[in-house]
Structure 1
Amino acid sequence: MSRLQEAHRSFFPFGNPFRMLSPKGSQLSPALLALLNCFEETLAVRLRKLETLGDIFSLTWMKSAIESLCETHKEIQNLISALDLPVEDWDEKWIDIYLDISIKLLDISNAFSSELSRINHGHLLIQCAVHNLESNSLQQVACTNSYLDSWRQQTRSKNPLLEKCFCFLDGLGESLNLPKVKNSAKGKVLMRAMYGAKVQTLFICSVFVAAFSGSSQKLFDLDVSNTHLWAQGFNRLQGNVNGIVRSRVSSNSGNLLKEIQGVNAVVNKLHLLMQDGPVSTDEDSALVSIRQLRTEAEKLSGGLNLLSKEVDTFFQIVLTGRDALLSSLRATCTGTDPTAGKRVGLQAM
């Protein structure tokens, strides 16, 4: 368990980073203040919306959460363009943080895609079982049992890539300690907005890891200052969601997704019916259970498809932003500072 979660206190072990965001001689102009307020107000709306979308362990909620995250990262890219802050004016620490965060987010996205593919493979097993059950063929009994057993084993197994996400989340948490902004009003706006994006990213990714792994080990209790327009909504959302996750984890094991548990409930019911021999679609209880299994499997499949598309979209947004920064850095470094170009290339690797 991370040192940060064990303490259950403010996330900032090295002091308050917001004091670093108020350097002398960098007062915000009305135009810059309007840009920052627009970003923060929009983020506040997104966070409030997530509170109203139902069960956080449903694929529907998770799809909305990652969609919200995509919108925030697009806004960061739009803000960078609106600030018109040349790359050569970026502090080296900003660049390192941006590149480091982006590679961690790409790794996390890959882990989520891997888990969704794994679940989808399990869904195919359920589809095969439903087909055999509906055919009412005695010859398919052994295969049906095998499909259902494989499904149960898969939902109890762990994805190694998800285990690696624990380290990635720790790295994202450490990146919340912002670098000092030196006499740059535009830099102050950028760092403050990036802080909001990082907080939302860390929160949503940690909830995803908890839902997929059945572990609350990497839930973070972030203490966000009320100086942010989105702070109140975030603190309320985080408190509610973390409470639900920890409660559900303590009473369940394995994957916590609502749709998977819906399939499991019917699979367990069919397992009991099949203990006395093959089920028959002539029996009302068996027919109802088979229909329920098909319905739950369809819910799972539909949710997986939508969530997978959003995770892919998030991956592409992060990758596009990273590539754009690297391209700008290469152009800036050409003929001016070859060692800086090498540093950027190594960081990308």
Structure 2
Amino acid sequence: MSRPQDPHRPFLPFGNPFRNILPKGSYLSPKLLALLNTFEESLAERLKKLKPRDREDVLSLSWMRFAIESLCGIHTDIKMLITALELPVSDWDDKWIDVYFDNSVKLLDICNAFTSEISRLNQGHLFLQCVLHNLSGDSMNSVRALASLDGWRQHISSKNPRLENCFSIMDGLVKTLDLPKIKNSAKGKVLMRAMYGVKAVTVFVCSIFAAAFSGSAKKLIDLQVPDTCLWAEAFSGLQTFVNIEIRSIYLSGRVTVLKELEAVDASVKKLYPIVQNEVDPIEAEMLQNQRSVLGKSEEKLSHGLDLLSKEVDVFFKIVLTGRDALLGNLRIGGNASESVKTDKVGGLTVK
């Protein structure tokens, strides 16, 4: 993770990770090279599509949902590549299995933390619904409306302890962006290079979510990927654009960087003093106008959070089914079976 005092420093602690994967003079057959190029070109296209067209799209819930949707596609692509490589799990090096299982359990934990935070944010919906109800013409109750507005403020400003654990897990992912040395396996070299791309993009997207949910740009990660990757240029362009915009938002002093949440917060700030004052005919009209604005922004926030939560759940299931499939193959093949043991996810992992 980039250091607070030097947030723009690219992070590549172990030098070029492909030094041991594709050393100078290494040979890949035309078939393997075509498989690798197809995977990397597809990854580059996904990254290009993920780059926001406008600065205002950065950290909108719709863009964040698209980011997770892109991760789902990338993780599906790596499964297809593994199948196309025709590399039986029995031929996998123990180190590759260790990397895969360690990464997957970390991703499952991160998904759980993000789901927890999305759920916490969505619980604020109840406070806002009470505000809207208590400000309706038939049941006007400014005292209860103020209490609900205060409740919403306190709820949104509270911290989620599960995120702190998520941040430490992400630190671990970044520190393992180096790759094991691959010997005498051209297919293994292709597999590890592709898995590096998946991991780099996954860490980057997760760091964006961490920055959005934590209220701090310090959670952003700046990765430098080797120029030899066909997706390197698209990745660097996306990372630079998004990270600069998020840091700019926080430097401006805004409390939240989530666009829909910011819209609700702005509406609450305008509505609060109106509700506090005695309502005369002019203010009554202002009150109902602001109530309408709050209702629309609240609906958009709630809908966006629901869709984002569903997409994170889809990603969780993709990672989980990938683990289960590999575990099933390990049990059938018997390779490395002695090193398989129960872990905290409730399944199995290789240590």
- TM-score, normalised by the number of residues in structure 2: 0.91
**Equivalent residue, structure 1, for 2:189:** 188
Task: Note the C-alpha offset of 1:24.
Answer: 7.7
Question: Is 2:27 the counterpart of 1:47?
Answer: no
Number of the residue aligned with 1:122: 124
The letter for the 1-side match of 2:338 is T
Match of 1:97 among 94, 99, 103: 99
- Contact persistence 1:169–1:218 (CA under 8 A): no
Where do residues 274-293 of structure 1 align in structure 2 (5 Å cutoff)? 274-277=275-278, 283-293=284-294
Match of 1:131 in 2: 133
Cα displacement (A) at 1:23: 4.7
Are residues 151 and 280 of structure 1, via their aligned partners in 2, closer, same or farther at CA, if it must alter by over 3 Å?
farther
Tell me if structure 2 keeps the 8 A contact 1:214–1:252: no
Quote the residue 1:220 is aligned against.
221
- Structure 1 counterpart of 2:35, one-letter code: L
Q: Determine the C-alpha separation between the residues in 1 that align with 2:198 and 2:86.
A: 19
- What do residues 222-274 of structure 1 show as CA deviations (whole Å, max 9, x unaligned)? 11111111100111111111111111122235432111110111111111102
Partner of 1:168: 169
Equivalent residue, structure 2, for 1:110: 112
Residue identity matched to 1:300: L
Query: What secondary structure, in the 3-state scheme, does the structure 2 residue paired with 1:153 have?
Result: helix
Structure 2 unaligned residues grouped into runs of 5+: none
- Asked if the contact 2:142–2:276 (Cα under 8 Å) also holds between the matched residues in 1, the reply is no
Q: Which amino acid aligns with 1:315?
A: F
Contact 1:106-1:315 within 8 A present in 2 as well:
yes
Partner-residue secondary structure (3-state), 1:255: coil
1:105-154: per-residue Cα shift (whole Å, max 9, x none)? 0011011110111111101211221122114534x322211211111112
Mapping 1:267-278, distance limit 5 Å: 267-277=268-278
1:108·1:168 contact (CA, 8 Å) conserved in 2?
yes
Contact conserved, 2:16 with 2:226, CA < 8 A, in 1? Answer: no
1:166-204 deviations in whole A, cap 9, x for unaligned?
111111112210111111111111111111111110111
Shift of 1:25: 8.2
1:145-165 deviations in whole A, cap 9, x for unaligned?
A: 121111111221111111112
Amino acid at match of 1:36: L
Amino acid at match of 1:17: P
Aligned match of 1:339: 338
Quote the Cα distance in structure 2 between the aligned partners of 1:279 and 1:317.
56
Q: Match of 1:123, as an amino acid?
A: H
**Superposed counterparts of 1:199-278, under 5 Å:** 199-252=200-253, 254-277=255-278
Q: Provide the C-alpha distance between the structure 1 equivalents of 2:212 and 2:337, rounded to a whole number of angstroms.
A: 45
- CA shift digits 1:5-30 (9 cap, x unpaired): 84854433233221111258851111
8 Å CA contact 2:142, 2:275 repeated in 1: no
SS at match of 2:135: helix
Residue 142 of structure 1 is matched in structure 2 by: 143
TM-score, length-scaled by structure 1: 0.92
* CA separation of 1:112 and 1:341: change in aligned 2, threshold 3 A: closer
What is the CA–CA distance in structure 1 between the aligned matches of 2:300 and 2:323, rounded to whole Å?
35
Q: Counterparts of 2:7 and 2:295 in 1: how far apart (Å)? A: 45
CA contact (8 A) 2:61 2:305 kept: yes
2:73 equivalent in structure 1: 71
Aligned residues: 346
Q: Which amino acid aligns with 1:74?
A: T
Q: Please state whether the residue corresponding to 1:115 is helix, strand or coil.
A: helix
RMSD value, Cα: 2.4
SS in 2 for 1:127: helix
Aligned-partner residue type, residue 272 of structure 2: H
Contact 2:128/2:149 (8 A) holds in 1 = yes
Cα gap change, 1:38 to 1:95, in 2 (>3 Å) = same
The 2-side partners of 1:33 and 1:337 are apart by: 29
C-alpha separation in 2, matches of 1:280 and 1:262:
26
Cα distance in 2, alignment partners of residues 283 and 12 from structure 1? 58
Residues 300-339 of structure 1 mapped to structure 2, 5 A cutoff:
300-333=301-334, 339=338
Give distance in 1, aligned partners of 2:266 and 2:254.
14
Q: Does the 8 Å contact 2:330/2:336 carry over to 1? A: no
The alpha-carbon deviation at position 329 of structure 1 amounts to 1.4
Contact kept? 1:47, 1:233, Cα under 8 Å: yes
Partner of 1:59: 61
Structure 1 stretch 337-346 or stretch 282-291: which is displaced more?
Answer: 337-346
